[in-house]
A and B are shown apart, each in its own frame.
Chain A
Amino acid sequence: MIKVLFFARLQEELGKDNMELDTAGWTIDELKNWLEAEYNLDGVTQTMTAVNEEFTDGSHILASGDTVAFIPPVSGG
């Protein structure tokens, strides 16, 4: 299983802060596209991604036991 953590705006849009998904073998980009379609999750494709607390690009392939975090960019100040 893959644990997916959602932060900030994504949490509000989803109404929860994490999910367990059976998506080992998927790339990050595939996971993002699926989430966007399945949950109508606006802009998840533009979020920063960490796998096991390390910055990761979209081509990374997920392995069982990974924890993925999606963090939307903050721009204000």
Chain B
Amino acid sequence: MENRYAKQELFSPIGREGQNLLQTKHILIMGAGALGSANAEMLVRAGIGKVTIIDRDIVESSNLHRQQLYTEKEAEKHTPKAIAAKERLQQINQDTKIDAFVLDADAANLEKLIRNVNLIIDGTDNFDIRFILNDLSQKHQIPWIFGASAGSFGMTYTFIPGKTPCLHCLFPSIPGIGMSCDSSGIIGPAIQMTASYQTTEAMKWLTENEEALRTSLLFFDIWHGQQQTIGMNKGKNKECLSCGNNRAYPYLNQSETAHIDVLCGRDTVQIRPSSKKKYDFSHIAKHLQSHGNVKSNNYVLTCLYRDYRIAVFHDGRVLIHGTKKKDEAKSIYHEFFAETNLNLVTKE
């Protein structure tokens, strides 16, 4: 009987040797949404040794048209994506070691998780976290593969510390108006195409085919069949604060503040309190159940309240589903989680 990777080994740039290398490598996939799912599945099928996968979100039915690791069952149960991803990936390949984290990533907690990682894959949906990934990549000399998709468009680039420009060279500050799934919608094939380019680059790096890496940034429109490459010979900025001569890694030193984000592609606002909490769900359930139907699993507690669904995590993060408006979400949050109330439901 042929071994499960026989056809991949037959592909000569990889070969038996490349396959053996791949099986010793460790990647970190930041985000288990659409791009994260697609990259994770391809690389786990390919036989990668270890995957660390991080996501802060839960599975929703509006994810299912493009997030390939998830099913209706998980959308109904509000399973955290990282947990659902691990379960599915382990069914696909039990030999890959998979560490899953339900976590709102920031510079501090990510820095702990990138030790011994050979490569970072971008499965995120915003530039704030990408600028943190970029600084970590430079500081720890770990390449990362940028991927982004919206509408029928995709964009990808392979950042190699010491060799290519970095994200901060290409954008002097965080782009304020990137095309997102909220503004442009998203179709599955644009995701699959972007992820395929990312995974291909990952395979090259992990099988030590460095000379084969694409050196240009790629932009495409899969609906109109257009493609544009941008060469990066003049991309490097010597004064860059992330990769230049006087580097300061500015995105690793942000102060702790409460954050309110509108999540990509759906009617959801996330609120992250200024300090980490340790919520006891039984206390919170008692507090919320007079307002609406409360359900919980090990990871998340949900409450149906008016036209909203409120999802609460142990660390104090709250998702308000049913609105895209930050102010609206904030007022609901404060109804239940004003700092005075928080003390009542917080178990130290």
Q: Residues on A close to B: CB < 8 A? A: 5, 7-9, 42-43, 46, 48, 50, 53-57, 69, 71-77
A54, B231: Cβ atoms closer than 8 Å = yes
Docked Cα-Cα span, A9 to B150, in Å, equals 10
Total A-B pairs, Cβ < 8 A: 114
Interface of A is mostly: loop
- A-B pairs, top 5 by smallest CB distance, nearest first, are A75-B178, A76-B150, A74-B148, A76-B181, A73-B175
- Across-interface contacts of B235 in A (CB, < 8 A): 55
Shortest distance from the beta carbon of B163 to any chain A beta carbon, whole Å? 15
Q: State the CA gap A54–B216 with chains docked (Å).
A: 9
**A26–B120 CA distance with the chains assembled, in angstroms:** 39
Pair A73/B234 contact, Cβ less than 8 Å: no
Which of B148, B170, B233, B237 has a CB less than 8 Å from the CB of A75?
B148
Q: How far does the alpha carbon of A72 sit from the alpha carbon of B191 in the complex, in Å?
A: 17
Cross-chain contact B148 with A48 (CB below 8 angstroms): no
Name the interface residues of B98-130: CB closer than 8 Å to any CB of A.
Answer: 122-127
- Contact pick for B233, options A5, A54, A72, A76, CB 8 Å: A54
- CB-defined contacts of A46 to chain B, threshold 8 Å: 175-177
CA–CA, A73 and B148, complex, Å: 9
Query: Interface centre among A53, A55, A74, by most B CB within 10 Å?
Result: A74
Chain B interface residue count, CB cutoff 8 Å, equals 51
Please tell me if the beta carbons of B122 and A77 are within 8 angstroms of each other in the complex: yes
CB atoms of A74 and B154 under 8 A apart: yes
Instruction: Take A8-B153, A75-B148, A76-B186 as given contacts and tell me if A50 and B177 are in contact as well, using a CB distance cutoff of 8 Å.
Output: no
B33 A77 Cβ-Cβ under 8 A: yes
> What A residues does B171 contact at CB under 8 A?
48, 73
Contact assessment for A76 and B228 in the assembled complex, using a CB-CB cutoff below 8 Å? no
A55 and B178 form a contact (CB under 8 A): no
Contacts of B122 in A (CB 8 A): 77
Tell which of B122, B228, B230 has the most Cβ of chain A within 10 Å: B230
Selected A-B contacts with CB under 8 Å, 19 pairs: A7-B226, A7-B228, A8-B219, A50-B228, A53-B216, A53-B228, A54-B234, A55-B231, A55-B233, A55-B234, A69-B228, A71-B219, A75-B126, A76-B148, A76-B150, A76-B179, A76-B186, A77-B33, A77-B125
Residues of chain A lying within 8 A (CB to CB) of residue B194: 77
CB distance from A18 to the nearest CB of B (A): 12
Instruction: For the complex, give the distance between the alpha carbons of A50 and B182 in Å.
Output: 26
Contact B125 A75 (CB under 8 A): yes
